[in-house]
Structure 1
Amino acid sequence: MDFKKTKFGKFMNCRVPASKRYQPTEYEHVANCATHGLWILPSMVGGSVLYFLSVDRWHRVAAWLYGSGLTGLFITSTLFHTAAWKISHLRKVEQRFHMCDRMAIYFFIAASYSPWLMLRELGPWTCHMRWLIWVMACIGSAYVCFFHERYKLIELLGYVAMGAVPALVILSMVERTGVCELAVGGVFYGVGVVFFKSDGLVPFAHAIWHLFVAVGAGIHYYAIWRYLYLPGTQLQTSRFTHVTQMKRPEAAEENIILPVTLSSMTDLVVDQTVWGAISSTGNGTMTAIWCWDETFGPHRPYNGAVCTGFLLLHDNAWPHVVRVCRQFLGG
């Protein structure tokens, strides 16, 4: 459909060749500024909420990175579109704002993944994505500095690749809660790219792209808040802390086995000593009463200090915990 021949034609200019940049109409300039400018304050508030919900240093660092990336994206986008609207005759200044806008996208992608990569447990190889994603953002920013607007397709593919590669790492996490919301947000970003490349074909195409970005970012923010920061869920984050209720078993015949699967094990840190918690499922020769009296009995005063639960801290040393458990039971 050719919108230029309809009543909506006044809201857009003609499409330009790929080597040139599209010049929006006055209506589109206003829409481009408003569709991201309106989200600056909510993004600042949202980042602050995550920061104040943090219970440890890693949650605070992740909240700061994510909030800065989210707010920075909306600020740089709004500044660039304002400059393109009001001071487009100052080509050098407008170009600098445009470069900052493009760089902010790379760092926004890295910041969006950081809470998941930092606060969820990853495998021995995939954990390197925690810093590799920031290297990718720096490389993308360097590309913008040296090849700004020269190879637009390569730049677009760079954004898509940076958004897709860490997603594969996220799928490898043991804890999968929140992956559905991440996928839905990714779909909004992907569909929005269609409008990102439709300037001159669809009225307000770039503003529509902005709305898809805002919706995708909102879904991802909800997932981060709900599954990583909401009170009661932070203690379930497998990389750092687990909370388990340690109540005295009622039946002495309940069997206890040494966990051979790492997912069934946590480690208790008391006075710098690491102990492996024993699973209460399966078959074995050791009774729950014996395990309670001999293993956790010495730490019962700590249990009383925190009501009915222990705070179990994970130090990512699963092989060490298995060895300690086996030595303890064998001795």
Structure 2
Amino acid sequence: MVNSTTDILVENNEAAALFLNNGPEVQTYSEEVLNSLSHGIGLLLCIPAVFFLLSLARMKGSKWHVVSCTIYGITLMTMYFCSTLYHSVDIFHLEKYRDFFKDLDHCAIYMLIAGTYTPLTLINLVYNNLSHNNNNNDSSNQPMINGEQQKQNQKKKTPKAVKIGWAMFILIWAMCVLGVGSKLVLGANGVPDIISNSFYLLMGWVSVIGLKDLIKNLPHKGLKLLVSGGITYTGGVGFLIWETAPFNHAVWHLFVSAGTLFHYFCILESLLPSNLLKKDNEHNHHNNNSNNNHLVNNDSKTTETTPTITATTTTTTTTTTTTTHTSTIHKHHSVILEHLEFAEKQIHMKFFGAGRRRKFIVKYMSILHHIFLGWYSSSTVKKDKLH
């Protein structure tokens, strides 16, 4: 009777462990080899790509671009490194460090999610809108006002996208600190996997908060790549929790690698200064001003004759058509290809120097872009040749 009671207690404890921690490690030796190789190769592939991004940020961008892209690049490489290290435990017989490396692996995931949001929020939503707002509100064109009035006016004039950008940035890093803190204090095995996975997904879809502003401030291709990355990550979670499937974790790693590539090219397409993006912004700003002027003129008119109404309608229709045309500029051009052409024309590249190293990184990025996004940019290249 005593033995049977003890057995029941043991079984109940094991069941509780299975629920809280998804049970003991179920990965075989061959599976762990593939797990470590998948992200080890990912690490080797991402290092040159990160430095290419930082090189362009230094050469074409501001301090905001450099800092944001540096944070993103460090978190991306850290995630791949920690994952490779953790899954190499069995290969190099470092079982006593398993829990420690698992903690690092899980912490790095939180950091990557927050790191990916950093350039999207600080550059696309905050910096770009602040720069545009400062240009529109040049103090030299305004009458002298005292300091307090100037501060109040500045608060009133702060674009909504800037406030949303800061809110998302603070929220995502607060969630990152909470996640990392829980792993360091309780340990990776002290936090149920179902909670960790849910928290990863919740962090990943924080972008829903500023969805409208992201749609307005991200170019068409950048938005498409951003959403593709989010869907890829989310789809891969199914394999992560499907522990009975052979090589399920390696498949999850492939989804993660694809997701990171989507988001990397999203940043390369959307955030770095570009002539195409600059022209598009100027066109849209010009058209917005034209629309506002037409509205002002229409309000000031007191005569409501039929010919006037007809003329106004025609003008408004023309303006709308022009706006639609300019808003689709990114559907016909590739900013990434523009960056590659820029790098090819440079004699010296930051972090790479000149000569063979510069040629290597340009060739490497061209191949990576062609392999991963060739299906997406083939139509773009044909249209560019026609123009």
Fold conserved between structures, TM > 0.5:
yes
Q: Which letter does structure 1 place at the counterpart of 2:217?
A: E
1:175 aligns with 2:214: no
From the superposition, tell whether residues 142 and 40 of structure 1 become closer, same or farther in structure 2 (CA, over 3 Å): same
From the superposition, tell whether residues 135 and 202 of structure 1 become closer, same or farther in structure 2 (CA, over 3 Å): same
Aligned residue in 1 for 2:18: 17
| Distance in 1 between residues matched to 2:287 and 2:46, nearest whole Å | 36
Aligned residue in 1 for 2:358: none
1:31 aligns with 2:74: no
**Scaled by the length of structure 1, what TM-score is found?**
0.64
Aligned residue in 1 for 2:46: 43
Aligned residue in 1 for 2:200: 159
SS in 2 for 1:86: coil
Matches within 5 A, 1:251-290: 264=288, 282=294, 284=297
Runs of 4+ in 1 over 6 A off after TM superposition: none
From the superposition, tell whether residues 165 and 175 of structure 1 become closer, same or farther in structure 2 (CA, over 3 Å): same
Aligned residue in 2 for 1:220: 263
Q: Are the equivalent residues in 2 in contact too, given 1:116–1:170 (CA < 8 A)?
A: no
SS in 1 for 2:245: coil
Gaps of 5+ in 2: 1-16, 126-160, 301-387
Q: Are the equivalent residues in 1 in contact too, given 2:218–2:270 (CA < 8 A)?
A: no
From the superposition, tell whether residues 155 and 263 of structure 1 become closer, same or farther in structure 2 (CA, over 3 Å): farther
Per-residue displacement from partner, 1:134-177 (whole Å, max 9, x unpaired)?
12111100111223223221111111111111343244333242
**Scaled by the length of structure 2, what TM-score is found?**
0.56
| Distance in 2 between residues matched to 1:232 and 1:193, nearest whole Å | 38
| Distance in 2 between residues matched to 1:52 and 1:236, nearest whole Å | 23
| Distance in 2 between residues matched to 1:60 and 1:99, nearest whole Å | 29
1:107 aligns with 2:147: no
Greater shift in the superposed pair: 169-178 or 57-66: 169-178
Of residues 77, 81, 87, the one that matches 1:81 is 87
Aligned-pair CA distance for 1:38: 0.2
SS in 1 for 2:189: coil
Aligned-pair CA distance for 1:45: 1.2
From the superposition, tell whether residues 30 and 44 of structure 1 become closer, same or farther in structure 2 (CA, over 3 Å): same
From the superposition, tell whether residues 76 and 165 of structure 1 become closer, same or farther in structure 2 (CA, over 3 Å): same
Aligned residue in 2 for 1:192: 236
Aligned residue in 2 for 1:120: 124
Aligned-pair CA distance for 1:118: 0.9
1:208 aligns with 2:251: yes
Aligned residue in 2 for 1:149: 189
| Distance in 1 between residues matched to 2:176 and 2:79, nearest whole Å | 13
SS in 2 for 1:83: coil
Q: Are the equivalent residues in 1 in contact too, given 2:29–2:90 (CA < 8 A)?
A: no
Q: Are the equivalent residues in 2 in contact too, given 1:133–1:166 (CA < 8 A)?
A: no
Aligned-pair CA distance for 1:98: 0.6
Q: Are the equivalent residues in 2 in contact too, given 1:264–1:279 (CA < 8 A)?
A: yes
Per-residue displacement from partner, 1:240-275 (whole Å, max 9, x unpaired)?
xx657xxxxxxxxxxxxxxxx99936xxxxxxxxxx
Q: Which letter does structure 1 place at the counterpart of 2:189?
A: E
Q: Are the equivalent residues in 1 in contact too, given 2:168–2:206 (CA < 8 A)?
A: no
| Distance in 2 between residues matched to 1:155 and 1:262, nearest whole Å | 47
Gaps of 5+ in 1: 1-15, 245-260, 266-277, 286-331
Q: Which letter does structure 2 place at the counterpart of 1:181?
A: L
Of residues 52, 55, 77, the one that matches 2:55 is 52
Of residues 69, 73, 79, the one that matches 2:75 is 69
Aligned-pair CA distance for 1:232: 2.3
SS in 2 for 1:124: helix
| Distance in 1 between residues matched to 2:122 and 2:196, nearest whole Å | 27
Aligned residue in 2 for 1:140: 179
| Distance in 1 between residues matched to 2:288 and 2:272, nearest whole Å | 23
Aligned-pair CA distance for 1:21: 2.2
| Distance in 2 between residues matched to 1:70 and 1:108, nearest whole Å | 6
Aligned-pair CA distance for 1:87: 2.5
CA RMSD of aligned residues (A): 2.8
Q: Are the equivalent residues in 2 in contact too, given 1:53–1:231 (CA < 8 A)?
A: no
* More strand as a share of residues: 1
Q: Report which structure shows greater RCO (CA 8 Å, sep ≥6).
A: 2
| Distance in 1 between residues matched to 2:54 and 2:287, nearest whole Å | 29
Count of residue pairs brought into register by the alignment: 236
| Distance in 2 between residues matched to 1:216 and 1:85, nearest whole Å | 27
